[in-house]
Structure 1
């Protein structure tokens, strides 16, 4: 039987200790004009380098004039290319303000990075772009910037994905919102010569770009918060594990990260790299041949790897085989319970949703008898983890069975998948963070807005269900015709994000919102987002997941 729980994260397919940026390893950054360097120093910036905005749609930056377009009555939009990258090479920061894809129309949005499921005209390999959303009436005091990293299992998604218009979020938080793109799939993760983490380097180039330009828009380059959902959240966790990225951002927001998977280790990456290279008609050192390959050829080989990676190395998973690699050079720690946790200091927000696993479980099975529970779990976990799980009161409905009640095993599997891939693994991460010097604020969404595509699964349209991705439009304030509960939660989360971006604390000063306490080393103090009170601990006790039942990253030693 297919190890169905390893497919759960596929739901994402539906959709400077100083103010100066730190260069990426092995990247040559061209010199910035002296005025640009000077104006990135906060004190000088406030006194001698005021914003040089000509109008709301024309902004002079250290790398040229930015031309924007009206996005809403309260905010403007600036699409821009932040870096260039020849195929399978490190990104090079731009030295001039350039519209994406050689566009001349300032209203044009960037094409997506190459990915399956899109017409070739919808994507471009020249895709390292971002969209800045800037409120019309920012104060004279520099404001923070939020950089959003989209999800999509590392193989799909873009800055123009559903619900990702950042205008409402920017206006509500009185900040600049930047939604970024990065290389996907094989182009971002499977460098034939054995290099790793190109997509991570893209994000570092994006943050370096923001450090240069946001002062011109009214932003404070020392207050950059990175945020993202699903695989985008996974990349944020990877950025937290990159020492050379630390000076590029201040705080981090992690939404629905499948932390159970862990980062790939070099051995698993090499196994997959060898397989991928074997699908190509070029040697790994023949740059001319590799550059001549069509995107369709690369994507076809990528999807072949995607479908078979789990059989090559189980730690790859069936859901996110191409992902950040703990290479010891860029990413230097596992940042989980499989190795010593480093000292940390940045404040983080960590959230999940009520029914993370529902899209996969209810999307793959119309019904599932109780008798199927054991074989499905065993196919995923093997022994002895399966015996501990099926005999646990957390997932065993023996009392109901004894009473002759018919049980749909999908209910148990959804709870199990949500716990081990997302919720409990996130809580373990928060405890580790708190135990090693950092502050972590943990929450779970019990109100959501059905993300486009989620309505294909009936369970996700039922009252009270909150499926993977259903937090996105809440945060961005892009829910169509929101209910009172949705509108209230959007207002709350945007107020909390505004506070967190400025102070590292999601409790706005003087607010009537319920207090959100930081996680401790045992109790993570997770709050209900959209409800009142605390999230029940249940199986997320420190003595169960990670102890009695090991996470995948512990089981596979990654």
Structure 2
């Protein structure tokens, strides 16, 4: 019997200078960049002066003078212009360094060319490059120098081993135009290149995001953006990256709001001990001394990815807290990431406004993808026990919310027919609750209890993400699987239904308000009031529905207390 944890594991797979940037002191090998301040840059903030002194966009909006050189873009759809840029360089397993000139990625000369992804399994070698620290910036065509519009930096998901800024549904033109905001979608180093430096340096991929934010702060004024109004956002492992950024005090000034969509918070950050165990195993696969740079640099990308995937498939047996899904992830190193930011240790005081959401059937893709036929109820308890152990299983098995009676269906679709239970429904509910929804609600309560403002939501309408249709369950009416929120937020749902169109308009209005104020309630809107979470009542609104999401097993006395999350069990 495949355990719930292993079933969920597959689901998570599916961015000439006026002055040089002045980096802050190094933090664990990662330098925190801040935009250069020049006399000309200061004068550009004075309205009466900037029209005469400062660079401005051309009439077409696709040629923009920045402190790093002229940015050449291309007209995208939905009344927005797209600029593709290389924001940083990085030698293998070294901290990334912000570029000092505006440069198209991968040696391109055509501004419409898309960047290659970072090295990852499952794609042709020609589709990726180790020189992959690129981002795509979408600017509404109406925005000009001095507009001072806010910016969202989106961090893509993919279990930290796959994904790109060019992924399905991530065209930011519609969202930028609808919110009158700049939208940037960033790439960062994946897999072993981002998380498993042989010398033991951790969190290099997080360093890439820090550099990307410094880059944005440098160039945003040239595009009409306000560098003091940056929201970071992401989905799945991208959301974990956002949460990790919230745990880095030294990076706090680089953004002011955060959006977390479908973060598998149950896993927690990686512990230093587990990281060292995985590092030792990975280093043993390389046949190079950790200090032999020449040897390490000579390893082909194919061989490196093979070693990475060997670690990926072995990590859980080395240390269960590594998980089957995200063994390479942010590390609570105590230097860059200074808090676990969960219930396993004291939660630090907060001041930022954040938005946390999940979808109705997060675990549906994996559960029903692994079991294409109904699962007898007799398999329910063994599957739970294999994942949670006897003590937690007893509490889960006896919980009314997961009882078989809650999932009984008529064998012939008739109210009078004999009933049966498909245990897949129970496993889907359980996986969704403990990996995503309830752990996110626990996080929201902690955030609120420590001074921060947080808004929680649950998507009950979605747009089937490319690939999800391979599992018929995910195409059923009323089902919203993991990733099905992405095309809603970005406004990229193909041939949207009335309900999808309404939710796209709602979420883009709410995100536009949140980018500016940290509050997802647009001024003067007739939308349902979205109340902030409290220390007990999360007030999670139904996105695509009305009213609040039922609490169910996400009561604070159940998940996180009666039944502990993995990060508590493993003491991460």
Most deviating of 189-198 and 135-144 = 135-144
Instruction: Pick closer, same or farther for the CA change 1:287–1:522 going to 2, 3 Å.
Output: same
Instruction: Pick closer, same or farther for the CA change 1:98–1:195 going to 2, 3 Å.
Output: same
Residue 193 (1) aligns with residue 203 (2): no
C-alpha contact (below 8 Å) 1:454/1:460 kept by paired residues: yes
1:4-403 alignment, distance < 5 Å: 4-14=4-14, 25=27, 26=29, 35=38, 39=41, 43-44=45-46, 47-48=49-50, 50-55=54-59, 56-72=61-77, 74-138=79-143, 140-366=146-372, 367-398=374-405
Mapped to 1, the partners of 2:64 and 2:500 lie a distance apart of: 35
C-alpha contact (below 8 Å) 1:40/1:221 kept by paired residues: no
Instruction: Pick closer, same or farther for the CA change 1:22–1:251 going to 2, 3 Å.
Output: farther
C-alpha contact (below 8 Å) 1:169/1:494 kept by paired residues: yes
Residue 554 (1) aligns with residue 568 (2): yes
Most deviating of 183-192 and 388-397 = 388-397
Q: CA deviation at 1:41?
A: 8.4
Regions of 4+ moved over 4 Å: 19-24, 26-34, 40-47, 398-404
Q: CA deviation at 1:398?
A: 4.9
Q: Deviations over 1:220-242 (max 9, x none)?
A: 00000001100000000000000
Aligned residues: CA RMSD: 2.0
- Tell me what 1:450 maps to: 464
Instruction: Pick closer, same or farther for the CA change 1:540–1:46 going to 2, 3 Å.
Output: farther
Q: CA deviation at 1:161?
A: 0.2
Most deviating of 55-64 and 325-334 = 55-64
Mapped to 2, the partners of 1:109 and 1:115 lie a distance apart of: 17
C-alpha contact (below 8 Å) 1:69/1:78 kept by paired residues: yes
Instruction: Pick closer, same or farther for the CA change 1:242–1:47 going to 2, 3 Å.
Output: farther
Mapped to 2, the partners of 1:278 and 1:24 lie a distance apart of: 29
Most deviating of 38-47 and 56-65 = 38-47
Secondary structure at the residue paired with 1:383?
helix
Mapped to 1, the partners of 2:216 and 2:256 lie a distance apart of: 13
Q: CA deviation at 1:138?
A: 1.7
C-alpha contact (below 8 Å) 1:474/1:486 kept by paired residues: yes
C-alpha contact (below 8 Å) 1:9/1:153 kept by paired residues: no
Mapped to 1, the partners of 2:454 and 2:536 lie a distance apart of: 12
Please, which of 516, 519, 537 is the counterpart of residue 551 of structure 2?
A: 537
Secondary structure at the residue paired with 1:466?
coil
Runs of 5+ consecutive residues of structure 2 not aligned to the other structure:
15-20, 410-416
C-alpha contact (below 8 Å) 1:336/1:432 kept by paired residues: yes
Please, which of 426, 433, 458 is the counterpart of residue 412 of structure 1?
A: 426
Mapped to 1, the partners of 2:164 and 2:43 lie a distance apart of: 32
Mapped to 1, the partners of 2:567 and 2:32 lie a distance apart of: 36
Q: CA deviation at 1:508?
A: 0.4
Instruction: Pick closer, same or farther for the CA change 1:33–1:212 going to 2, 3 Å.
Output: closer
Please, which of 524, 534, 537 is the counterpart of residue 538 of structure 2?
A: 524
Q: How many residues align?
A: 553
- Tell me what 2:412 maps to: none
Instruction: Pick closer, same or farther for the CA change 1:108–1:372 going to 2, 3 Å.
Output: same
Mapped to 2, the partners of 1:201 and 1:117 lie a distance apart of: 25
Mapped to 1, the partners of 2:205 and 2:549 lie a distance apart of: 34
Please, which of 470, 473, 491 is the counterpart of residue 505 of structure 2?
A: 491
1:414-453 alignment, distance < 5 Å: 414-453=428-467
TM-score by length of 2: 0.93
C-alpha contact (below 8 Å) 2:24/2:33 kept by paired residues: no
- Tell me what 2:18 maps to: none
Secondary structure at the residue paired with 2:546?
coil
Instruction: Pick closer, same or farther for the CA change 1:504–1:20 going to 2, 3 Å.
Output: farther
TM-score by length of 1: 0.96
Secondary structure at the residue paired with 1:339?
coil
Mapped to 2, the partners of 1:162 and 1:201 lie a distance apart of: 25
Most deviating of 50-59 and 39-48 = 39-48
